[in-house]
Structure 1
């Protein structure tokens, strides 16, 4: 008999004992499985041991429920609503604060004074703490707002040197950034400061010189000359030397181009001059030229005076090189980047397509060429006569001008300028490349242009090359004396002024147009134009001062002017006579020829041919 369970001694009065047939394992219906089959079955798991039945909905909650607020005040002070109200309050307050700064301007900004050491020959005679040299300064206007301007003493020499103008431009950028930083530190965003500016690059904190003087910020101070007898230099504005413009009102806006460059060459200065004139006309500025320190002497000895303006130049201390928005802007080769930076990178590029910016600069230069490239009366008459003679030479007789030969201009630059092409970068482009290019142009034009598609022999016979070079030995090269095309003639662009070789000088050629001996020891222009040779024209060894430098004499300036006249006459004849010009883009004269020929003729129709690599036309690198 099996043993029985005795419950009489337990402390619990009630206990339920399950019958032996009741299965205590959880029902399979909770998770819809049928329980474990065996320990080795893939359906075997331990879920049946971890099961916890869901709480009964009838049991009391474990956490006491929070009662909903019944009052309106508790509903109003919800955190999200408080944050929204606080945010709107801050936004409205900030808006009125910014508007107050825009209207009244920030106050309490310090004035920046430029300390300077007094020079030996100047004494500052003013109560204002302003420097006695040209420099940007920071001032406060009548509203107490911090502004900046460019301070130049009223009786300071004009024009300043190229290095001084370059230094002023550097300081302009520094001072402009400093003033903008002061405004930013006061909490005024630069986007708000720029409101109302005429362009994105305009500096709202800049105050023009005339405006600063009107408010008394620069007025009342001058620089006295302590050296007795020293006179102030006022420069030489071309066309205003005799006071011809004194009866006219002062220009509202102007641009003055100073003809001074550390580069002895004439081409870069001419290109920048033309572009500056085009920009001035585009912006409605009067245009003036100063030639007081030009290496080639008087501007009117080479060119005719520029177009007469309807107003007179402003005071000299109002002509400043920066910023770009200045009312009276001064431009030179040293500061040309200030007016060209809006066009981006102007570096010459190889195999790059023509861009809209490139065409824009070309059109500006062309506008300057049309207004300024007018030779003096004597040279102009000679050039026109030479052009008529050369054009008549290419007309086939009996055709009444319907059948013409081709005039191919050749411009060869040697001297201190080397090509861009890698294999010739330390030498020069061989002369046979010029002649071979000319021969290919002739064959392309006339090999199938005759009757029934045959060769046009008559047109070839009346074709010729027009040659211009700074190296007199180029004219004697075999490639030009005996061209590869039979019967092809090579002519000088002009022979009014010729740069002679040493052999020609020693022969004492009686031709008055040949430049004769002008130094103690005879030397010629073999090899081309070199800057040291140009600067020493007419200077003897005994006349050189310390470090080999001296002020050029009147004879030196006359000889330099002759070199400049020869250069521009060569360009004038090549541009007007040639159907096609072959040259090297590394030479600025080659780029000038493209402008003189025009965009359609030179670029679109292929009348301008570069033999120095695969580079496109570029105005100038600054």
Structure 2
């Protein structure tokens, strides 16, 4: 007989279970004693340790830093370009970027890479090129600079070069991709300007002051240079450009310089006193660039008017909250600043002007009268009013307006004075057309100044006949007919053209024959470097023009046509209040109001 021991349950815990009981653990067991700790963890899960969490944070930080470094390196690598890239244009075709390790021989914008590998652009003007450049070169630089700036921005934004251009920028918008010439020189991206550039090619104004061993004077931090060379034969536009540039330089805190190296009228000091000179030295010629406007040493010429005084300039300085001429007050003030600082005649002209003004004040104002000036522009400048665009304004418009001013003055005067009496009010006349002075409508006027007079051929012939001259002598007289004409001015003192001759085909042309390019070069040389006789004739014309402005500008009222630059200059000389009120400046050319530089 076999005896078996039957297991008994213990109150202290469960007994070992069979495989059958493992399917439902503790199903038949009572709850453990509440006085003993549970051998099962809370929520049935094991608590994680702190080491894995710290390792995860470290891994995330490492991955983030690696990604940032990779992004920065990729971004800089996408911008990395050749050391210097020349920007060229051929025959007016599309502009293209051409990689090159050498700077271009001609002045042009170039693309460079700075020390951080970023693509930038600047302007390269080789040291061996004579200063100043021709006006057309400055215009070409600005056109190419705009295209290059646009393409650099597209490259940095991974856009194609033909992408749509950015919106119109404000006048003082700064191109972050532009590197000033001085910075490019300091970083070795452009050749450093030597002593030659700082001392030569400055023209009379500034050159005479700073080339006599004054080396201790520092170079100006910011400057504006106005180049007087222009393809326009008239003097008025140049004078207005000088005044506006001076006013802008004062507004922006720039030192102001004038360059008269290639001015068709000769030297600045032939007509005016030296402008107020700053206490610093002009910058090197290679650092004086026409654009962008943010350049430290800005250069303005007639060819860059659309960039310097164009849409952006008007948007900045016009008062958008006002209407008509009142919008132009800030621009007018810039010109007025230039006029007050720069319009000071010199030499014999200054002496004559002082005597003439004293005479007028003594004989007119001291006796209760007023002076009314009339300026008549003929020649190649036609009115803006539609019905007279192909001819000239009738002289009756000028004289009738002058009489209206005198009538208004007589009514406001306590003691009535007769019109045009010998010791009373007078009408002063200035014109570029000698025949205007002898016109029947102007019989009661007198010349504004008689120191320098332009005469017509008929007047010269009459004077020659009075002196007993022959018919052949009269045929040699050349008068100033019909007013100021561009072609007539450029031909003053020029040698007669060679007789027309048959020119063989290029294949049969002898090598010693003079090419046409040489003839054109001679014409340019004569235009901007005329011989003494031709220059003397030009100086007489310029001096007469300035004396007319000086006398009329001090009148009590001026009558003129706004289409003429002289008329707009006279408004600046009269003053803002007189122009706005219409009491001292009367326009007879339609209903247009005053405007500064018209480009």
Q: Does the TM-score normalized on the shorter chain lie above 0.5?
A: yes
3-state SS, counterpart of residue 304 of structure 2: coil
3-state SS, counterpart of residue 257 of structure 2: strand
Give the Cα separation in 2 of the matches to 1:208 and 1:262: 29
Q: Given that residues 325 and 580 in structure 2 are in contact (C-alpha distance below 8 angstroms), is that contact kept between their aligned partners in structure 1?
A: no
Give the Cα separation in 2 of the matches to 1:138 and 1:425: 47
Q: Given that residues 406 and 460 in structure 1 are in contact (C-alpha distance below 8 angstroms), is that contact kept between their aligned partners in structure 2?
A: no
Paired residue for 1:132? Answer: 105
Paired residue for 2:448? Answer: 493
Residue 415 in structure 1 maps to residue 382 in structure 2? no
Paired residue for 1:110? Answer: 81
- Residue number among 603, 612, 615 corresponding to 2:580 in the alignment: 603
Give the Cα separation in 2 of the matches to 1:458 and 1:328: 57
Paired residue for 1:480? Answer: 442
Give how far 1:438 is off. Answer: 1.3
Paired residue for 1:535? Answer: 490
- Residue number among 399, 404, 420 corresponding to 2:368 in the alignment: 404
Q: Kindly report structure 1 stretches of 4+ aligned residues shifted beyond 6 Å.
A: 115-118, 517-520
Change (3 A) 1:375 1:290: same
TM-score normalized with structure 2 length: 0.73
Give the Cα separation in 2 of the matches to 1:106 and 1:355: 54
Paired residue for 1:435? Answer: 399
Give how far 1:101 is off. Answer: 6.3
List per-residue Cα deviations over 1:286-316 (Å, max 9, x = no partner). 1111111101011111111111111111111
Give how far 1:384 is off. Answer: 1.4
List per-residue Cα deviations over 1:128-156 (Å, max 9, x = no partner). 42111100001000111111000111221
List per-residue Cα deviations over 1:356-408 (Å, max 9, x = no partner). 5411110000001111111113211111110111122224xxxxx4x612211
The RMSD of aligned alpha carbons is 3.7
Residue 457 in structure 1 maps to residue 430 in structure 2? no
What is the correspondence of 1:182-197 to structure 2 with a 5 Å cutoff? 182-185=155-158
Paired residue for 1:580? Answer: 557
Paired residue for 1:591? Answer: 568
Give how far 1:172 is off. Answer: 0.7
Q: Given that residues 225 and 300 in structure 2 are in contact (C-alpha distance below 8 angstroms), is that contact kept between their aligned partners in structure 1?
A: yes
Residue 238 in structure 1 maps to residue 205 in structure 2? yes
Give the Cα separation in 2 of the matches to 1:606 and 1:101: 67
List per-residue Cα deviations over 1:36-82 (Å, max 9, x = no partner). xxxxxxxxxxxxxxxxxxxxxxxxxxxxxxxxxxx9xxxxxxxxxxx
Paired residue for 2:188? Answer: 216
Give how far 1:265 is off. Answer: 0.6
Give how far 1:200 is off. Answer: 5.8
- Residue number among 95, 106, 126 corresponding to 1:153 in the alignment: 126
3-state SS, counterpart of residue 595 of structure 2: coil
Paired residue for 2:433? Answer: 471
Give the Cα separation in 2 of the matches to 1:170 and 1:116: 11
Q: How many residues align?
A: 480
List per-residue Cα deviations over 1:455-488 (Å, max 9, x = no partner). x13576311100000011100000111xxxxxxx
Change (3 A) 1:284 1:170: same
Give the Cα separation in 1 of the matches to 2:133 and 2:237: 20
Q: Using the TM superposition, name which of 105-114 and 244-253 deviates more.
A: 105-114
Q: Given that residues 520 and 540 in structure 1 are in contact (C-alpha distance below 8 angstroms), is that contact kept between their aligned partners in structure 2?
A: no
Residue 321 in structure 1 maps to residue 321 in structure 2? no
> What are the ranges of 5 or more consecutive residues in structure 2 without an aligned counterpart?
1-42, 44-59, 91-99, 161-165, 467-471, 500-517
What is the correspondence of 1:327-366 to structure 2 with a 5 Å cutoff? 327-341=296-310, 342-344=312-314, 353-354=323-324, 357-366=327-336
Change (3 A) 1:204 1:198: farther
Give the Cα separation in 2 of the matches to 1:616 and 1:214: 49
> What are the ranges of 5 or more consecutive residues in structure 1 without an aligned counterpart?
1-70, 72-88, 119-126, 188-192, 223-231, 396-400, 482-488, 512-516
3-state SS, counterpart of residue 336 of structure 1: helix
Change (3 A) 1:254 1:589: same
Q: Given that residues 213 and 219 in structure 1 are in contact (C-alpha distance below 8 angstroms), is that contact kept between their aligned partners in structure 2?
A: yes
Residue 287 in structure 1 maps to residue 256 in structure 2? yes
List per-residue Cα deviations over 1:182-224 (Å, max 9, x = no partner). 122289xxxxx9xxx99861101100011001111112799xx
What is the correspondence of 1:537-556 to structure 2 with a 5 Å cutoff? 537-541=492-496, 546=519, 549=523, 551=526, 552-556=530-534
Give how far 1:241 is off. Answer: 2.9
Change (3 A) 1:518 1:612: farther
What is the correspondence of 1:155-170 to structure 2 with a 5 Å cutoff? 155-170=128-143
Give how far 1:410 is off. Answer: 0.3
List per-residue Cα deviations over 1:391-430 (Å, max 9, x = no partner). 22224xxxxx4x6122110000000000000110000011
Q: Given that residues 464 and 490 in structure 1 are in contact (C-alpha distance below 8 angstroms), is that contact kept between their aligned partners in structure 2?
A: yes
Change (3 A) 1:115 1:169: closer
Change (3 A) 1:500 1:136: same
- Residue number among 590, 595, 599 corresponding to 1:618 in the alignment: 595
3-state SS, counterpart of residue 324 of structure 2: coil
Give the Cα separation in 1 of the matches to 2:228 and 2:446: 33
Give the Cα separation in 1 of the matches to 2:346 and 2:277: 16
Give the Cα separation in 1 of the matches to 2:473 and 2:225: 35
Give the Cα separation in 1 of the matches to 2:431 and 2:77: 62
Give the Cα separation in 2 of the matches to 1:344 and 1:295: 29
List per-residue Cα deviations over 1:468-518 (Å, max 9, x = no partner). 00011100000111xxxxxxx41111111111111232345799xxxxx99
Change (3 A) 1:450 1:574: same
Give the Cα separation in 1 of the matches to 2:172 and 2:248: 18
Q: Given that residues 408 and 466 in structure 1 are in contact (C-alpha distance below 8 angstroms), is that contact kept between their aligned partners in structure 2?
A: yes
Give the helix-richer structure, 1 or 2: 2
Give the Cα separation in 1 of the matches to 2:301 and 2:247: 15
Give the Cα separation in 1 of the matches to 2:88 and 2:475: 46
Paired residue for 1:267? Answer: 236
- Residue number among 458, 462, 485 corresponding to 1:503 in the alignment: 458
Give the Cα separation in 2 of the matches to 1:380 and 1:331: 28
Give how far 1:519 is off. Answer: 12
Give the Cα separation in 1 of the matches to 2:534 and 2:545: 17
Q: Given that residues 420 and 427 in structure 2 are in contact (C-alpha distance below 8 angstroms), is that contact kept between their aligned partners in structure 1?
A: no
Residue 306 in structure 1 maps to residue 306 in structure 2? no
TM-score normalized with structure 1 length: 0.70
- Residue number among 526, 534, 548 corresponding to 2:481 in the alignment: 526
Q: Given that residues 325 and 594 in structure 2 are in contact (C-alpha distance below 8 angstroms), is that contact kept between their aligned partners in structure 1?
A: no
Q: Given that residues 575 and 597 in structure 1 are in contact (C-alpha distance below 8 angstroms), is that contact kept between their aligned partners in structure 2?
A: yes
3-state SS, counterpart of residue 157 of structure 2: helix
